[in-house]
Every structure is written in C-alpha cells, then in structure tokens.
Structure 1
C-alpha cells in the first residue's frame, strides 16, 4: 500500500464498479469528461499562454502576489554549496507541505512584505515561508533558514498561530493538528539519525537530499516514485495512528492516508484499505524542483498519481463527471474516513488519469511535454477552483470536517 501501483489499481476498481452502477454514492457521466478537459485546457492557456507549464508543487504558492520568494530565500542563504542550498529548500518544502491542509473559508494572511491579503493555499504557503525564514522551525538563532528536530519538537500551537496571524476573527482549521504534526516530524527525524542526521548530530528533514542522492556520482538520478517510497518509509510515523495494520510479528505499522472501503479488494491485512498518500505525493511533487535545482535528474514523473483533494475532486463533481446519488450528502458533514469521501477521492485519482490525455490533446502537447504534474498545475486544480468560485463562492462541493492532516 506504499506504492502508487496499489493506489491506481484499487482506484480503478472502484471506478469500474461505479460505472457499472454498483456505487452507493456516485454515478459517472463519461460524456462530461471531454467538456471538463476543454475547461482545464482553457484555464491552462489563460494561466500559461506559452504552455511552458511548471510542476504542480508548493513552490507555486511561494510565488503568490508575483514575488519570487525562491530567489529571496537563495539570497538569505548566501553563497553556500549546492547540497546546503538543497537541504534548506527541502526543509522548507517538507514543513510547508505538512502545513498545507485546507485552511477553511474564514482564515487569511496579510504578507508583511507586500501588504497583500492571501487565503487558502497561497496564504498558507506565504505564511509558512515567512515563518521559516524567521527561524520558527530552527533551534539555532544564527541559522534561521532551516528546520531541525529540536526546533520542530518545541513548536507550540500558539507560536504557529501567531506566525499565521490566527485569532478569534481569523480562525485556521486544524491549528492544533498542524502543530502536533510538525512536533511528530521532529520526533521522527530525531529517531532516524542514519537518514536525517548531519554534522554534530543535527537532524533535519533536508537531509533527505543526502539519503536520495549518492555523493559519489557525477550524474545523479532519482526516480519520482523512489522519492515517495523514501518519504513513506521514513516519515510514516508522523501521521495520526488511527489507520494502522499489524504485521505477522504483531508490530503495528502506521498507514497514514489510507482508509477503509468495503468494496476494495486486497490480500491479507491490506484487504479493504484504499491508499492515497496525498500529502506525501504533494510533497514528492514539491521536491522535484529542489532536486533539479541541485542538478539531479528526476525520472518517471507520471508514476505519481493525481492528488485526491477537494479541488481536483471538486472539478469532477462540479464538471458533471461525477454526481451524488443522494444530493443531501453535499451538505452532510463528513470525515476523511467516511466511505463516501474515500470513494470520491479514489474516483478522483482514476479519473484524473483519464482526463490528462484529453487535456493534452486539447493543447496539442505530448505526455513528455506535459506530464501529469503539469496537467495538475495547468490545470485541473485551478479549474476546480474556478468552478467552485462560480458555483459556491469557492467552498468545496462536499462538507469535509478536517483535522488539518489530510485536506
């Protein structure tokens, strides 16, 4: 369940079942796929007229308001080695992605640099960038632009709330959960010095760079799926423990973003589980650029799946590809573990794979020119936001109660 092959095969099984009328929650209208692809292509052209589309990653949110914060971070870092710069980039990306679950409709962030008021993913991205550069996640005042185990373990919800301008009139969904997630990140990397340790035993998320990239090669290459495997293999204990299976030896293994669904097949302990690893895959996408900036070639981008979150899933509901059998479910509060939400996310993964080639055809691009990471960026996420804004003022099509660790 830590492979995208398992994600795709199980998601495709649920899609086939829904198409055959076997879903308790959704119907599928295949005729709506083409117009939805046309909308995605239109939004892509508007956002990227040259069709030079970057990856869908956290680094796009650091560009909010037209500010090149990557360049500003590099200025802050000064003249350092390629590896040191990559570690800082990865520190930032990991912490920021883990803070990127949905903010809720009532929160916003005013960037002190520009005075711009930002909300949702852009606001979360800029807030986390500013907190990072001010040293919120570092235990060393003389080295603010890093995240390390001690700095993360000592983080409180109050400190995070202050950095994110949270207040009674500016509530952020899942604030306690976000802070707890980062504290667990600090604990987990501290327990794995062989992966995350460095000089003087200082454990940092950015040491994943050294784990992924051999120091003794002139042409370093990393497969995208290997990035995900490394993240799942090393960071899985950070996720809440409600989703876990036991090995034959009786050990409990945290599954993270995997959820029960009665129609999902499988073998042994994995039967009935639908894996997604959405934040881990979002993080994998967000590590592509730091690796490439460090002259590492990343291969096999389309091994990663589309991201099963409310913008991509909302595109399919609002675009008419999916429809609720019981419309009242749109207004019923549901959690990530409810079977309707699990199935919605699975159908999203499977349908994004079908939508991508239609979008490429609309734009006259090949899969090599427009990998899935660029379809998402161009793309499906933005088109989902457009439809949500048009239909509901930007809110998701389903009412999801979030603890800040999935959505």
Structure 2
C-alpha cells in the first residue's frame, strides 16, 4: 500500500483519515484490485454483457508495437500526458510561452502545474462535432488535441489568474471560482454550429476547483494557487524522491470534493467510482482523470528536480481510446450488439465492466509489448506504453473502422468522465 497523505491535519477541505472506509478506495491499489475482480467475473463467463478472448492479446500487442515504432522509431517514447496535446501540430507551445519568462526552476514547475491541472479537468470528451481553430498556427484541431490547445490558450491569456496583468501565467482559486460561462464558451469557440459536449459541467468543475483549492490551504497555500501543490510534494519527498502512488493519493484527497456528487461513502465523495456486482462492496474506483493528471504532473515534478518512483503502480486509463481498442480488435466482445449502437451512460453496469476490463487488459498488453521488445518495466513503464502505444492504436483502429474515427461506444457524457 502506498504511503498516504495525512489528511487529518488542518487545512483539508474534506479530511479522510486512514481509518475512514473511503480511504482504501482513494488509492491506485483499489483501482487495480477491484478491476481485477470484475475481470475475473468476465473471464469466468459469468458476465451478461461481454466475453473475453485472450487469444487475441498477441495481435493487440503487435498493433501497439507497430503503432509505437511508426511514431517513435527510436523507442524514446515520452510519458502519456497532457503535454503531448499542447504539442499538437508539431508546435512547441509551452517552450514558446515559457522562453524568456525569467522563471527559476521551481517557479517554472509551479507554472506548469498551474497550466496542466485545469487543462486536464477540461479534458473529458469533446464530442464529434466540436473543433478549435488555432489561428496563430493555422491549424484546426478536434477532440483531445483541440481541448488541450484551447485550454492552453486560455491559460496563456491569463484567464485563470486574479491578476492577469501582473501574473498572467498562474491558476489561483479566486479566478477559477468566479469563472463566467461566456468566458469559457468564447475561449473554446463554442456556438450553435460548434457545440462542445458538457460545457456546463466543465464550467462547474473549474469553479468548484477554485472553491476546493481555497478550502485546502495545506496543499494549495493561502491565497490558494494550484502551483503550490509542488511545495506540498517537495515537503513530503524523501531524498528528492516521491512515489507516484502518493501523488495520486494526494490529488484524490485534495481534489476529490471537486467532482460532481456521485457515489459517496460516509460523507466522502469517491469521484470516478461506480457500482458493479462482481466487485467488493460493489464499488469500482477508476479515478481516470486524476490518474491522467498524475501522469501529466510527472514532467513538471521532474522539472523541479524530483524523481517520481513507482510509475507502474498507476493503471492504464479506462477511456474510449484504450477501451475502444479492445472492442475493435475483438478482445472484448459484447453479448448484445445494442451495446455498440445505443447511447450508454457512464454509470451503466456494462460501461463500468468495459472500463474495468480495460484497466486489466492494458496491464497484459503492456507486458506482452515489453516481452516482444525485450524491455522491462523500468525501461518502458506503462506511461510510455500508453503513449506509444495503446491510446494511439485505439485512435488508429477507430479511424480505420469508422468515418471520422469515433469510438465504438456512444457515451452520454457530462464532460467530467470520458
């Protein structure tokens, strides 16, 4: 079990003592354990929703390697993170923004954290019809890249700072808590002909982020700024090392109250956690966006001189590209064809099961990829397999199977999960 932050200390919005029943669910270990229980249920043939076809695992690994070598022939694969989206179109937007800004090493890392936290929270699926025009570079982008570049431009313009004239490149609680709907809609170029799925949900999430950061000074300081997360993690590092599991557990406790009320346990919101009868207590945590954020913090933390250990404690991300790869390759097959036709809600048992299987399947695909490449986990952690990798292979096969490359499942999203 990863060491957990002491959220009994003063300065937490919602303290979660280690003996609270929610504490065990706010860890990466719980994600893998509960997902494994659901996977065993499917493999045993007890699922009314899916069948698992392990014989196709090798073909999945081969496709991932083929995709990986096409994108990174030298196998020097960066982490799977939000930073790749900021580079859409081959443009080094962060380099251009930070160059000459005069930041010292720690302030540069704080600014990167200020940028990436709201950007990740804005990263749930955009829908098939939304586009973002990056006029400065003459590029039109969609989906994750579009969301990433739009949020980057919003940050660069000082939209998340209470003092945009003096300190534009920061995200503070006061500005986030008072963000207005027209500002967000304008920044994301939303209009009748360019609809963005879940715009209201995204706005509520950012406002709530500001409120929760303000009420969590132990992590975000006072006045609260998202970049102060760096100082909290530096304080808890040992010999310049911090565990990935500790980073995730910190985020789950500090940002847990941000998520819309879904499954709660004795007053503590469990965030991206859903019910499935095959799991212990029927609860299956995924913490997808929070894990995505943890992956996206690796580069800023390393920038600050920290070594993040235990990367493979984190799981693969159960979203529609990784999950779509399983469905499109026939590793996972629906018992009812309607699953691929009818809109699905995020809390539907079949969707929860699909996501749980995705987590475990990604571990197995990663192991097969490493075996074929002759690499170990230290040389090629899951964060690189995902980037190289499964996410890209999922997008690739979706484009081959369906015009425009939509995922195989139609998810009804509120902009806070997928």
Interval containing the TM-score (normalised by the shorter chain):
over 0.9
Q: Partner residue of 1:205?
A: 226
Which residue of 269, 289, 294 corresponds with 1:254? 269
Question: 1:349-402 deviations in whole A, cap 9, x for unaligned?
Answer: 011111101111222322211100000000000000011111112111111100
Distance 1:242 1:128 in 2: 26
With over 3 angstroms needed to count, the CA separation of the structure-2 counterparts of 1:133 and 1:320, relative to structure 1, is same
Question: What does 1:1-400 correspond to in 2, within 5 Å?
Answer: 1-75=25-99, 78-141=101-164, 142-197=166-221, 201-214=222-235, 219-246=239-266, 252-265=267-280, 271-393=281-403, 394-400=405-411
Q: Gaps (5+ residues) in structure 1? A: 247-251, 266-270
Question: 1:148-193 deviations in whole A, cap 9, x for unaligned?
Answer: 1111011122211100111111100000100100000000001112
Residue 83 of structure 1: how far off its partner (Å) = 1.6
Contact 1:221/1:296, CA 8 A, preserved across alignment: yes
SS at match of 1:37: helix
Q: Gaps (5+ residues) in structure 2? A: 1-24
* Alignment TM-score, normalising by the size of structure 1: 0.94
SS at match of 2:391: helix
SS at match of 1:202: coil
Distance 2:398 2:81 in 1: 21
With over 3 angstroms needed to count, the CA separation of the structure-2 counterparts of 1:215 and 1:15, relative to structure 1, is closer
Runs of 4 or more, structure 1, over 6 Å off, are none
Residue 215 of structure 1: how far off its partner (Å) = 8.8
Residue 92 of structure 1: how far off its partner (Å) = 0.6
Question: 1:308-349 deviations in whole A, cap 9, x for unaligned?
Answer: 000000001101100000011111111111101000000000
Residue 70 of structure 1: how far off its partner (Å) = 2.1
Question: 1:93-146 deviations in whole A, cap 9, x for unaligned?
Answer: 101000000000000101122010011000100110010000111110221111
Distance 1:157 1:318 in 2: 37
SS at match of 1:214: helix
Matched, 1:403 2:418: no
Residue 257 of structure 1: how far off its partner (Å) = 0.2
Distance 2:163 2:44 in 1: 58
Q: Partner residue of 1:249?
A: none
Distance 1:85 1:389 in 2: 37
SS at match of 2:169: coil
Distance 1:326 1:350 in 2: 22
SS at match of 1:298: strand
Residue 216 of structure 1: how far off its partner (Å) = 9.4
Contact 2:236/2:242, CA 8 A, preserved across alignment: no
Residue 405 of structure 1: how far off its partner (Å) = 0.3
- Aligned pairs, number: 392
Distance 1:280 1:61 in 2: 17
Please report the RMSD computed on the Cα atoms of aligned residues, expressed in angstroms. Answer: 1.2
With over 3 angstroms needed to count, the CA separation of the structure-2 counterparts of 1:127 and 1:261, relative to structure 1, is same
Residue 303 of structure 1: how far off its partner (Å) = 0.4
Distance 1:397 1:215 in 2: 42
SS at match of 1:323: strand
Contact 2:202/2:416, CA 8 A, preserved across alignment: yes
